[in-house]
Structure 1
Amino acid sequence: MSTRPTHTPPAVRQTTAEGLDAHLVVARGDFRLDLRLAAAPGEVVALLGPNGAGKTTALRALAGLTPLTAGSLRLDGRALEDPERRIATPPEVRPVGVVFQDYLLFPHLTALDNVAFGPRCHGLSKAEARAEAADWLARMGLEAHTGAKPRRLSGGQAQRVALARALATRPRLLLLDEPLAALDARTRLGIRAQLRRHLADFEAVAVLVTHDPLDAMVLADRLVVVEHGRVVQEGTPAEVSRRPRTDYIASLVGLNLYQGRADGHTVTLDGGTAITTTEDLTGPVFVAFPPSAVTLHRDRPDTSARNVWRAEVTGLESHGDQIRVELTGELPLLADLTTVAVAELGLQPGRTVWATLKAAQTHAYPA
């Protein structure tokens, strides 16, 4: 963003820029969240994970809506919550902005007054709050909609109003809960690009919760993958995509993933199946390759490919402009084929085929 708001509410002004340092521990019945999360100012972190992994619980804990059972939460060097020290800052006075999945705009207020609500709560006069709100709406390209109430806004416009409302209080931590989930596919494409630009200009920490890998890859600087309440992998989008460490992550980024033991260029899986790779490794490893790297044949082929397996088709489904074929056998795997190739092979559930994979198309790395 090219300019900053004229007014800085005293309640949210910070003197340090140390970012987020959190150890979130929340125990609820049989579920326990135990998540360490740190981020520098200007960094966008995406929390990814299957349903029930603990993403929303973590977001609510950061917002102060769900109390910590143990651990601590520090923002810019200030302790916001620490059960052991009996520190618990109420949500309304934390320097935190939240964009909820359904936006939760006040239906009786105009876009301008929705955005002005936060600055008003932080002590600005009505005129000052409205001036700041108008500035934020202008940054979002919504100058023509300041007087519109939520019911008259499109999904993309409502999302931008919600983001402006969250940013208008100058938060030191911005939380986004599935911010694009309520949008249709066409609107989502444009709003995702706009949101990326706004986040790139945001000078504090942003934490995004999403189940959509594309949202995470485009919007975040770093991915934190959570399963069963714990971090199973984190890194840049490129690192996580290239070296997935769980089946969930492999499925998320569209890869076949196996774990075995390497001896040179051969990786032997637990069931005894061997995969030939180009990497020369020793010890426990993962092997990954995309479904598009798998070729299917009616009969055992005479091929230079180092990996050849007999398989049985168990399912077919559309996947973009291709057909994803699910196979079982000595190596369960996925293959992506064109509709023409599927027709020529006569593929259907129960059909036996031969699968081939070149060693050069695999990627092996230490487990």
Structure 2
Amino acid sequence: MTVGQTVLGAAPPLGVPLLDAHLVVDRGAFRLDLPLTIDPGEVVALLGPNGAGKTTALRTLAGLLPLSAGHLTLAGRDLDHPGRRVWTPTERRPIGVVFQDYLLFPHLSALDNVAFGPRRHGMNRHQARHRAAEWLARMGLTEHVRRKPRQLSGGQAQRVALARALAVAPALLLLDEPLAALDARTRLDTRAQLQQHLAAHAGATLLVTHDPLDALVLADRLVIIEHGHVVQEGSAATITAQPRTDYVARLVGLNLYRGRATGHSILLADGFRLTTGDQHDGEVFVAFPPSAVALHPGQPDGSPRNTWPATIAGIQRHGDNLRIQLTGPIEVAADVTPAAAAQLRLTPGQPVWAAVKAAETRAYPAG
């Protein structure tokens, strides 16, 4: 087998997902109920706040935690199906895993770390090392094959871990926060390299991450879970355009509210009204970016259709701007330049007026 080939077993027919799973896991008061499909060559990012069930899903797929109900079918083969009393242990699953801390064997060289999986799958020492050398060359690590993990940089260790996972030709590749341990500069370079390697992987890939940028850059599709259930799923463009929960809105950097629309007017739950450029009737979400919020020392005149008094609750640096958290009839985030903040002399506890033009808002059905 050459580098880049993937063992798919009895590969599913065209149009049938490579991974077809319904992960149901009961853990005391918590229940994961996650339908999940991934096509060959597709990268899916699983996102959610702490405690949403991401780690439970990962452990279940890897065979470290059994299903309570549902099924897990990979490449046409049932790996876990409680109703049929089917259970496949971790070592017999065609799955590769890259852990957040990589978990490289500290006493083995990079070459032998990567060769470990093929050896476990029945290759002799020479064959396994040859396979490992191929993968390390593909990762640009030929000069580092004899180094131990402690002699590698963070980015190099991440690539060794990825090579180790791919060297067993997995039908499913699991990535658990694969860039979280890297500093900002290394993360940028490694993300670009990882994107190239994932594009060449013929199997299915599940990326578990907290980082929206990792998800947006690396994944073809996003699945977002909260409290063990899917709350939104789709392409990055769809989700960033129309977030449907507060968590998703924060993830993509939008202010989000839910209310009842009558034409261009939206009545929020607390009685506050927003005017939007879109026209709807019924339950809707309305969203706008923090950059659309203008701050004024007094009540503004002129074109903004939405103005209200607010109080500054907090000020944080956000990229080149300052992110201002406001309380009042609605809680809202506003982005202003440092120059504007200095001119307005913004400080926590200060009263201001907020304004958003109707044309800067987006409204869409909540159903």
User: Which category describes the TM-score, using the shorter chain as reference length?
Assistant: over 0.9
Q: CA deviation at 1:4?
A: 3.5
Q: Say if 2:3 is the partner of 1:5.
A: yes
Give the structure 2 partner of residue 104 of structure 1.
103
> May I ask how many residue pairs the two structures share in their alignment?
362
Q: Partners in 2 of 1:45 and 1:307 — Cα distance?
A: 38
Give the structure 2 partner of residue 335 of structure 1.
334
Structure 2: runs of 5 or more not aligned: none
TM-score normalised by L of structure 1? 0.96
Give the structure 2 partner of residue 247 of structure 1.
246
Q: Partners in 1 of 2:154 and 2:298 — Cα distance?
A: 52
Q: CA deviation at 1:274?
A: 1.1
Q: Partners in 1 of 2:27 and 2:9 — Cα distance?
A: 33
Q: CA deviation at 1:13?
A: 5.3
Q: Over aligned residue pairs, what C-alpha RMSD do you find?
A: 1.3
Structure 1 runs (4+) deviating above 2 angstroms are: 3-8
Percent of aligned pairs with the same amino acid: 65
Give the structure 2 partner of residue 19 of structure 1.
18
Give a deviation string over 1:183-235, Cα, whole Å, max 9, x none: 11110000000001111111110001000111111111111111111111111
Give the structure 2 partner of residue 352 of structure 1.
351
Q: Partners in 2 of 1:275 and 1:97 — Cα distance?
A: 49
Give the structure 1 partner of residue 270 of structure 2.
271
Partner-residue secondary structure (3-state), 1:331: coil
Give the structure 2 partner of residue 197 of structure 1.
196
> Which residue identity is paired with 1:4?
T
Structure 1: runs of 5 or more not aligned: none
Q: Partners in 1 of 2:246 and 2:64 — Cα distance?
A: 31
Q: Partners in 2 of 1:198 and 1:16 — Cα distance?
A: 21
Give the structure 1 partner of residue 302 of structure 2.
303
Q: Partners in 2 of 1:44 and 1:303 — Cα distance?
A: 48
Give a deviation string over 1:301-350, Cα, whole Å, max 9, x none: 11111111111111111111111111111122110001111111121122
Q: CA deviation at 1:356?
A: 0.8
Q: Partners in 1 of 2:192 and 2:291 — Cα distance?
A: 28
> Which residue identity is paired with 1:116?
A
Q: Partners in 1 of 2:216 and 2:3 — Cα distance?
A: 29
Give the structure 1 partner of residue 173 of structure 2.
174
Check conservation: 2:8, 2:75, Cα contact below 8 A.
Answer: no
Q: Partners in 1 of 2:176 and 2:58 — Cα distance?
A: 8
Q: How does 1:87-98 map to 2 (within 5 A)?
A: 87-98=86-97
Check conservation: 2:18, 2:74, Cα contact below 8 A.
Answer: yes
Q: CA deviation at 1:275?
A: 0.9
TM-score normalised by L of structure 2? 0.96
Q: Partners in 2 of 1:13 and 1:364 — Cα distance?
A: 44
Q: How does 1:1-367 map to 2 (within 5 A)?
A: 4-5=2-3, 12=7, 14-17=9-12, 18-367=17-366
Q: CA deviation at 1:7?
A: 8.7
Partner-residue secondary structure (3-state), 2:301: coil
> Which residue identity is paired with 2:85?
R
Check conservation: 1:6, 1:132, Cα contact below 8 A.
Answer: no
> Which residue identity is paired with 1:182?
A
Q: Partners in 1 of 2:302 and 2:24 — Cα distance?
A: 54
Q: CA deviation at 1:16?
A: 1.1
